[in-house]
Chains A and B, each alone.
Chain A
């Protein structure tokens, strides 16, 4: 019997064994997705609420598909047009929904710590679908799943995350998860988008993308949020593309073939050129498929009733 998990708030405080359990469980759900009928009765009778206080397309759809393929009943809540716009607090929204006898809560919120806050208020397990600039654990798990699929083991694998590290919950969850499973992690981007103190996690920092490419087995290229340019955190999109954009000519200089990942949605021609995103070394669509399997695993493990 699997151990099950109470909540999935982040990878920061998880044990490596817990990560491996999710990744191993996801493997069997990945097989389900190849069947003609992609549905299992695992969460029949369980109601999952997707609480999205911040807009999201792919994460929400991925969770919803995962829930439906586990035969759960699904309720979607989006902040706009809801009671939140009438001034209701997060606490009231969540407790009201739980009072309707739901079983698992998936939450995305623009504030760091919102899922942790909810987990203290609710009886249901809480799954973090992205909180502020803190963590996006299921994204990191699907990234790790995809790397495992490609390379077998994560030990010693050189993974470089490229882009706005300072504001990226994807980067942070990847750093926590990958280092726990023995991968070497680096980040690359302009100095103003990389926080201090990353050395405490054993993370290497490159300011030069060519150096990063020389070092890496995998580049996980993050979306450059266009509003960051407006905030002046770096000079311009043009300059970013010129000096940190991942393109053919840069990759051609790499000593080995580099696997390209991206959590999406891609700004084609900014952080990643179209031919690379669609090229033979790209696993971006595998990530998307694996995302459903990983989320099925997480939902399954949180839905496991303690025996």
Chain B
């Protein structure tokens, strides 16, 4: 199989092949990288003038819902959504049913990912598994972390809930430090958030919704930073949402602590004024914050305090979201809107350049998870994403490859889209590639 890309604007974080190139991919490997290549017959020849070719994007925070909640999403539909959104790899969170807290479940997911029902699709997107920190994600006893790690788990998280018990957190940090794999914390003081489901702000007080205070995130994060300092380990705070949280991260990094963090597109670009209609597609945890928080997160992206952007792709079936607000589950899908949202709101606004976007969506998340970053070297395995910065499109949830439709970006007009991926011998080209 030969794929030939002409006139691609290659973005190479290593710097070696950063510029306008022709790329010849033969049987899943980069055979040639140069100018004015061609002449030989190929299976696909595509002119990528005006488009970026970047190292395959990696979403470090996805909910695939398999095993147990296949009606929301499964590995096949989730990886199809990932490919459509431009991701060549994803890391699945362990809050499935059963919870990924034993080596058997890790193996089950990894095996399932390799044998997709659609043969063309198997292996199109690399699936990595994050395992639970504690048994059943109950926050009480450590899971068999070493066994999970041996089975292939790349990180640990009880995402959906926080480790609030300080002793358990200490054990998790110390035990995981032997494995060199990060603890990913969902920062939330559950005693403070109680039954609240939206950010406590002038807006939400006006809307009469049950609120949770922003301090719930900061309190757990600040405790964790002190614990990281005292007990060691690698620590990653996921889906941070407040200006105070990123200040804490900045200060911790200044002290040289091994701490990293990510933010989601919805916490960057959506705010709590959207709750005025009580549409549960805007119900996420942590909740959408204020406009000022959006701005603070964007500033922190610019200054490099935030390491990664992650989708927190959280599929829920229509019948689960189409209920009264209090009964709806938290979360929105994100795999198919992340690149569009980022290109529209960060790239075209001049907030960050394409190199920074590649760091945030490809290089850094892999480094945090200890996964090798795709290379643009001759002979290297092709692992790349094509981004068309000028593709204009409207978010139509009905057209998602994901099984679920719950997005707060619905109806938004985006400029910029992932239009294809190549992952070794597998590839996917979107209808938007032209």
Contacts and interface: CB of A to CB of B under 8 A. Distances in A.
A12 interface: yes
A133 interface: yes
Interface of B: 200-202, 205-210, 277-278, 319, 322-327
Contact of B324 (A12, A90, A195, A200): A90
Contacts of B325: 111-114, 117, 132
Given A91-B322, A109-B324, A117-B324, A197 B202 contact: yes
Nearest to A113: B278
A17 interface: no
A89 B323 contact: yes
Contacts of A198: 205
Contact of B208 (A89, A110, A134, A201): A134
Interface in A91-114: 91, 109-114
A172 B324 CA distance: 20
A90 B278 contact: no
Contacts of A241: none
A112 B207 contact: yes
B207 A134 contact: yes
Contacts of B323: 89-91, 117
Interface string A9-25: 01010000000000000
B309 to A, nearest CB: 30
Contacts of B209: 112-113, 132-134
Nearest to A200: B202
Interface of A: 10, 12, 89-91, 109-114, 116-117, 131-135, 169, 172, 195-198, 200-201
Contact of A200 (B206, B210, B278): B206
Contacts, number: 63
Contacts of A195: 205
A157 to B, nearest CB: 23
Contact of A196 (B200, B278, B319, B322): B200
Nearest to B319: A89
B213 to A, nearest CB: 9
Contacts of A116: 277-278
Contact of A114 (B200, B210, B319, B324): B324
A89 B322 contact: yes
Contacts of B200: 196
B202 to A, nearest CB: 4
Contacts of B208: 10, 112, 131-135, 169, 172
Contacts of B319: 89
A6 to B, nearest CB: 15
Contacts of B206: 12, 197, 200-201
Contacts of A91: 322-323
Contacts of B324: 90, 109, 111, 113-114, 117
Contact of A111 (B201, B202, B327): B327
Contacts of A135: 208
A195 B198 CA distance: 14
5 contacts: A89-B319, A110-B326, A111-B327, A132-B326, A134-B208
A200 B206 CA distance: 9
Contacts of A201: 206
A195 B277 CA distance: 21
Given A111-B324, A172-B208, 4 more contacts: A10-B208, A112-B208, A112-B278, A133-B209
A159 to B, nearest CB: 19
Contacts of B277: 113, 116
Contacts of A132: 208-210, 325-326
Contact of A112 (B201, B202, B210, B322): B210
Nearest to B208: A134
Nearest to B204: A197
Nearest to A231: B194
A125 B277 CA distance: 17
A129 to B, nearest CB: 14
A190 to B, nearest CB: 17
A83 B277 CA distance: 27
A20 B356 CA distance: 56
A117 B278 contact: yes
A12 B319 CA distance: 29
A60 B223 CA distance: 50
A86 to B, nearest CB: 15
Contacts of B210: 112, 132-133
